[in-house]
Chains A and B, each alone.
Chain A
Amino acid sequence: MSDTAINTDQLPDSHGHFGTFGGMFVPETLMEALKELSQEYEKAKNDPGFQSELDHLLHDYVGRETPLYFAEGLTKKAGGAKIYLKREDLLHTGAHKINNALGQILLAKRLGKKRIIAETGAGQHGVATATVAARFGMECVVYMGAVDMERQHLNVVRMRLLGAEVRAVHAGQATLKEAVNEAMRDWVTHVRSTHYILGSALGSHPYPMMVRDFHRVIGLEARRQILEREKRLPDLLIACVGGGSNAMGLFHPFLNDPSVRMLGVEAGGRGIKDGEHAARFQGGKLGVLQGTKTWLLADDDGQIQLTHSVSAGLDYAAVGPEHAYLKDIGRVEYTYATDDEALEGFQVLSKIEGIIPALESSHAIAQTLKSAAGMAKDRIIICNLSGRGDKDVEQAAKFIFGDSE
């Protein structure tokens, strides 16, 4: 074993720390609910009944397993390493988010909660949550920034059709961070009746661990699939990182494979200048936001800075604490793709592979093209195609064709 080997069963510690990162930085009112959630999650994890219900629903309702697709056209275009796409975009509701939403609503049921709340940026997590809430007959309220409601309008309609109430958040820059604030306020107020389905590997313990665990199925499948196909492990994994749930899901089962490199792609927006991007590892600092200690974008007075990304799902000021840890120990590398690069990736994949990716996932596609070009033809990359782009077609059309409608 190399010295970067990680015992995946031991992180985080029982208080949610990944090294110095993570933890439980929340108002006192929530401490007990979070402890209760941690305990119930531990019980559920060891309950074969819970696991089999989850597996059954993931298979029949969500559509797992997802294919590991050899993207021949993309491979040819890059002219280097073989590119495989993990097709989370084919899941019910169109993105990886439902793996976690489903796991958490089963937990909510065990906890006896009747009401579900969630935050959403791109709307994918909101749609996934509204979907499972409908499936289990629970009341559902989704908080969404007013700016995001406009740029991801299709998902707002979907949530409403699914019976969820979508509440617009107008504070601040009216995107994902403000939606999380508002969901936390709701939770503090209705903590006894309500479960908060947090949508990324973020926030207070146990969320970063729990959300990661519910998405580990991505990496577990990919690992088995690539071993079947290629009889060997991949050389590089690539995923986009907003909070970082799809990346944690893909990376985690490979952490103890020292030959596998991993690359997380943050949103570079219009470039790495204050307020123009959401790349926390570029010019961010260590701080505490929304329940967790991690890398975030803040000014010298500790105020959270504005962020920008063409993709609502990556437009967020803090990164999941486990990513901060994995960067710190050097196990995972992080880079960024700009809006323009992501839009280019969006078009390339659409035209060459006939797959329209989500703008979030397009950041990973853009980096995959770059990385593959510099690698030998016998090398293998797995890129997590975390979501499909149906929700983004209007936005993309505006940028690509200059549609003003």
Chain B
Amino acid sequence: MEASNHSDDFIPAGLAAYGIEADEIELAVIRAAHQTFWPPILELLELDTSQVPTERAPDLSQPPPSR
């Protein structure tokens, strides 16, 4: 199945799963945010990061320890 940013089902279903209520204005904000964020999130999920180690407790004041 192809991924999409179709929000009609995702947003109300997602909020309902958590028991979170939202009024119409809030839903409009959430839909706008979803339209902005979801396409790049889908691109991010396509990125194969299996060879990239996650830095354990990274010290962001320093460069990465090994490269």
Do chains A and B stick together as partners? Answer: no
The chain B residues found within 8 Å of chain A, CB to CB, are none
The chain A residues found within 8 Å of chain B, CB to CB, are none
